[in-house]
């Protein structure tokens, strides 16, 4: 996915990914669509389309007769040509989903995890779940890998779980490595919220700007999509949004500071005042907008989705009412369209992204990285 040097294979992969992005977003498309969107020459697009067709990733789907002239061939993505499995590992539950190349979630299953489960126990559960999913239509050969969205902190670059909150047996576990060995599949490990925002970015396609996924579920975290890619931070620790101070004189938080968004929100929620809790969250969201200037804010998480409209209304209002926001400062606020599947689905999409997504050049890592 990330490489340092740019050679011709990068060109190929990059432009191919552009076409795939168009295909995923537009459902059907033709050569001229891609030409317009990318600026490539028609001939170049023809070559890319030929390659993708040969790989079975796209296929012709009829003709378009625009009037005069030779009709254009209409193409479409072949959704069932590739699959990925995604999983959301939470403290007590394991969610598994099957996602196709178009980003559609086909099967979603939740199973309980033992209290304080060990890596072994997780692998057992994953192995069983994957066998079930992969057996459905003999997908094994079209399965590109497994994506794991997990609570942090972790070290994404090295596939390491550093010290998962509230799980005793998870200190410096090389989860990616041991899962690949055990499951015989490429594995992509990432923080839950980062996987989640990837799902949203996939579904929106190239029109998706800078965005955050706000997740309220046993704590408050968020995932970022900035500059066309997920933002993980220097140590895969971005998104500890719940532990930003919003009330200097507020109650003490478990993290040691006073008036963290999370503890203030929790107090309101525990008092039964959901509307107030939502308003507190909204203050945090506006803080994010002031800081990062986002185009999209997506709301998700089990606790939030218990009162979706309350939270949506509070955040929308706070974003709109902010006196500093001029008319050109538009931000779209929405609930996650994938609901409880966001994290798991996003994890699966990250796997597909490694193969068919837009490759990145890791020039920031060239020296001593």
Positions touching DNA (CB under 7 A) are 5-9, 11-12, 15-16, 30-32, 40-44, 46-50, 63, 65-73
Please list every residue from 18 through 77 that binds a second copy, using CB under 8 A: 18, 21-22, 25, 37-40
Which residue shows structure tokens 């992509």? 188
Please list every residue from 309 through 328 that binds a second copy, using CB under 8 A: 322-324, 326, 328
Helix axes 308-321, 274-292, angle to 10 degrees: 40
Q: Which is nearer to DNA, 16 or 25 (CB)?
A: 16
Q: What is the dihedral of CA 275, 89, 358, 10, to 10 degrees?
A: 150
107: DSSP letter:
E
Binder of residue 67, out of DNA, a second copy, none (CB less than 5 to 8 A by kind): DNA
CB of 356 to DNA, least distance (A): 14
Pairing of strands 105-112, 93-100: antiparallel
Q: Tell me how crowded residue 59 is: count the other CB atoms within 10 A of its CB.
A: 12
Please list every residue from 140 through 159 that binds a second copy, using CB under 8 A: 153, 155
Cβ(240)–Cβ(224) below 8 Å: no
Binder of residue 31, out of a second copy, DNA, none (CB less than 5 to 8 A by kind): DNA
Q: Is 197 in the site for a second copy (CB under 8 A)?
A: no
Phi-psi region of 261 (alpha: psi -120 to 50; beta: other; left: phi over 0): alpha
Which residue shows structure tokens 């929308």? 316
Binder of residue 324, out of DNA, a second copy, none (CB less than 5 to 8 A by kind): a second copy
Q: Is 369 in the site for a second copy (CB under 8 A)?
A: yes
Q: Is 245 in the site for a second copy (CB under 8 A)?
A: yes
Task: Please name which of 340, 282, 291, 293 lies closest in space to residue 315, comparing C-alpha atoms.
Answer: 282
Binder of residue 323, out of a second copy, DNA, none (CB less than 5 to 8 A by kind): a second copy
Q: Is 7 in the site for a second copy (CB under 8 A)?
A: yes
User: Taking contact as CB under 8 A, which single stretch among the options 55-63, 134-142, 227-235, 301-309 is the one that binds a second copy?
Assistant: 227-235
SS3 of 20-44: the string is HHHHHHHCEEEHHHHHHHHCCCHHH
Binder of residue 124, out of a second copy, DNA, none (CB less than 5 to 8 A by kind): none
CB of 273 to a second copy, least distance (A): 14
Sequence length of the chain is 369
Q: Which is nearer to a second copy, 129 or 239 (CB)?
A: 239
Q: What is residue 301's three-state secondary structure? A: coil
**C-alpha–C-alpha distance, residues 205 and 40, integer Å:** 19
Q: Which is nearer to DNA, 50 or 365 (CB)?
A: 50
**C-alpha–C-alpha distance, residues 245 and 265, integer Å:** 11
**C-alpha–C-alpha distance, residues 332 and 319, integer Å:** 9
β-strand partners of 224 = 212, 231
Q: Which is nearer to a second copy, 25 or 108 (CB)?
A: 25
Binder of residue 46, out of DNA, a second copy, none (CB less than 5 to 8 A by kind): DNA
CB of 12 to a second copy, least distance (A): 9
Q: Which of 54, 68, 141, 256 binds a second copy (CB under 8 A)?
A: 256
Q: Which is nearer to DNA, 49 or 160 (CB)?
A: 49
CB of 202 to DNA, least distance (A): 22
Q: Which is nearer to DNA, 8 or 367 (CB)?
A: 8
86 by Cβ neighbours in 10 Å (0-12 / 13-18 / 19+) ranks as buried
């Amino acid at each position: 996915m990330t490489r340092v040097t740019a050679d011709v294979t990068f060109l190929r992969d990059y432009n191919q990914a552009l076409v795939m992005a168009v295909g995923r977003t537009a459902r059907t498309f033709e050569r001229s669509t891609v030409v317009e969107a990318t600026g490539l020459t028609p001939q170049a697009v023809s070559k890319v389309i030929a390659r993708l067709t040969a790989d079975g990733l796209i296929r012709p789907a009829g003709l378009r007769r625009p009037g005069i002239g030779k009709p254009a061939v209409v193409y479409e993505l072949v959704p069932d040509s590739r699959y990925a499995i995604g999983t959301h590992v939470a403290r007590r539950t394991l969610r598994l989903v099957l996602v196709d190349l178009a980003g559609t979630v086909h099967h979603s299953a939740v199973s309980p995890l033992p209290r304080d489960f060990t890596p072994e126990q997780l692998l057992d559960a994953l192995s069983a779940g994957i066998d079930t999913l992969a057996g459905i239509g003999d997908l094994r050969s079209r399965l590109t890998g497994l994506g794991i969205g997990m609570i942090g902190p972790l070290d994404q670059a090295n596939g390491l779980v550093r010290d998962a909150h509230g799980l005793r047996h998870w200190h410096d576990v090389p989860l990616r490595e041991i899962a690949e060995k055990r499951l015989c599949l490429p594995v992509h490990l990432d923080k839950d919220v980062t996987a989640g925002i990837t799902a949203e970015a996939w579904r929106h396609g190239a029109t998706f700007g800078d965005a955050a996924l706000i997740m309220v579920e046993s704590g408050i975290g968020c995932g970022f999509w900035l500059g066309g890619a997920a933002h993980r931070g220097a140590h895969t620790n971005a998104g500890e949004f719940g532990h930003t101070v919003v009330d200097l004189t507020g109650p003490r938080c478990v993290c040691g500071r006073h008036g963290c968004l999370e503890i203030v929100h929790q107090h309101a929620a525990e008092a039964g005042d959901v509307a107030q809790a939502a308003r507190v969250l909204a203050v945090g969201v506006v803080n994010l907008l002031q800081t990062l200037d986002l185009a999209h804010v997506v709301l998700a998480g089990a606790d939030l989705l218990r009162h979706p409209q309350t939270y949506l209304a509070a955040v929308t209002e706070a974003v709109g009412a902010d006196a500093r926001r001029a008319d050109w400062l538009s931000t779209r606020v929405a609930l996650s369209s994938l609901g409880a599947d966001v994290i798991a689905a996003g994890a699966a999409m990250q796997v597909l992204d490694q193969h068919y997504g837009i490759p990145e050049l890791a020039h920031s890592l060239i020296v001593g990285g």
